[in-house]
Amino acid sequence: MKTILVDIFYGAIIGVANIIPGVSGGTMALVLGFYERLIFAVHNISSETIKIFLKALTFNKENIEKLKNESKRIDLVFLIRITAGALAAVVALAKIMTYLLQNFHDPTYGFFFGLVLVSAIAPYRLIKKKTLSCLLVFIIAVCAILVVSNAASGDTLLKKAQLKHEMKLDKEHAETYKIKETEGKNKLDIVKLLYIFLMGVVAISAMILPGVSGSFLLLLMGGYFVILKAIVNRDFPVLVSFTIGCLIGIIAFSRFLNFLIKKWYDQTMSFLLGLVIGSLWMIWPFKTSAKVGEEVIYLKNRIPTSFSANEVYTLLAAIIGVVVVLTLLLVEAKKEKIRSH
C-alpha cells in the first residue's frame, strides 16, 4: 500500500511540474530516482503489447496468462500508478496553477527554481566517469536550452499579445471571423485537431527530457492555454487528439533515449545535467513585464533592484523548493542504503 501511494505521489509531482512553463517533469523523475525505470518501461511497450492486450479481451485463459507476463515485462503497474498520479494532479490543479501563474508569478516560479537548482545533484551523481566528452555534451545541452528559451523574444511575445488584444476589441473583425469560422468549421476543426496532435507529440517528447519544459514548448506553439482550457472545460476532441499525440510521442522518443542510455550512459547523463542547469535561465522568477489589456506578459529576465514583499515571498518559495528536493534526496539515499544491506 505504501509503495502504491508513493508512486502515485511521485506521479502527481511530475504532473504538477509539467503544468508549469519552464519546469520539466523529467527533472522531477531524475530527482525522485526513477527516471531510467520510467524510460525502460515505456521503451518495452511495442505493437506486440497492444496485440496481447486486445487478445486478452476475449477472456481466453491462455491470453490472460500472456497479458500477465506482458504486464510484468513492461512494468505496467508502475506505469499506471505514475500516470494516474500525473493525470490526477493535472486535472485537479489546472485551475489552481493557472491562478497562481497569473496572480503569484514570481513566488510560483521561485518555488520551482529552488526545486530545479538542487535537482542537478541527481544527474551529476549518476555520471560514473567524468570525461572531456561528458563536459562537451554538458555545454552543448546548456546552449541548446538557452537557444530554445530565447526562441520567442520579449518583443515577439508582446506583439502577439497586442495583436490578440486588438482582435478581441475589433468587433467588426470578430463578426467576420465568426462567419468564416462557420463556413469552414469542419475543415478548421480537422486542421486544429491535427495541430493539437502534433503539439502532443512534441510536448511529451520534451516533458520526458530533464530540463526541457513541454509546457514551455506548448506556450511557444500557442497551445498551452488551449490545453489548460480543454482540461477545465472537458473538451474531449481536443484532449483525445492531444493524448494520442502524447502516447505516440512518448513511445517513439523513449526508444531513442533508451538507446542513448545503453550506448553512451555517462554522456547521456551529462547531457541531461546540462538540460537541468540550462533550464534555470528559463524559470528565473524575476522578469520584466508589460500589461496588454487585462493580461500581464512576462518578457526578459531581470535582477531585482529592491527587496519588497514579492521578493521575500519568492525567496521563501525558492527555499521551500530546495528543502523539498533535499528531503526527497535524503529519502532516496536511505532507500538505497536499505536495498544495499
Q: Is the pLDDT of residue 167 over 70?
A: no
* Range 176-193 average pLDDT: 55
Q: What is the DSSP letter of 316?
A: H
* pLDDT score of 180: 47
Given a contact cutoff of 8 angstroms between Cβ atoms, the answer to whether 118 and 326 are in contact is yes
Q: What is the pLDDT of residues 25-77, one digit of tens each?
A: 777 777 677 877 888 888 788 778 888 888 888 888 888 998 899 899 988 88
Domain locations in the chain as residue ranges = 2-340
Angle at 232 between CA 280 and CA 239, to 5 degrees: 85
Q: What pLDDT sits at residue 111?
A: 87
DSSP three-state, residue 305:
coil
DSSP 23: -
pLDDT at 202: 79
Q: Three-class SS of residue 303?
A: coil
pLDDT-derived band at 138 (thresholds 50, 70, 90) equals very high
Most confident region among 2-6, 135-139, 235-239, 258-262 by mean pLDDT: 135-139
Distance of CA 185 to the CA centre of its chain: 31
Distance (Å, whole) CA 309 – CA 139? 36
Q: What is the mean pLDDT of residues 94-120?
A: 81
Predicted local confidence at residue 317, as pLDDT: 93
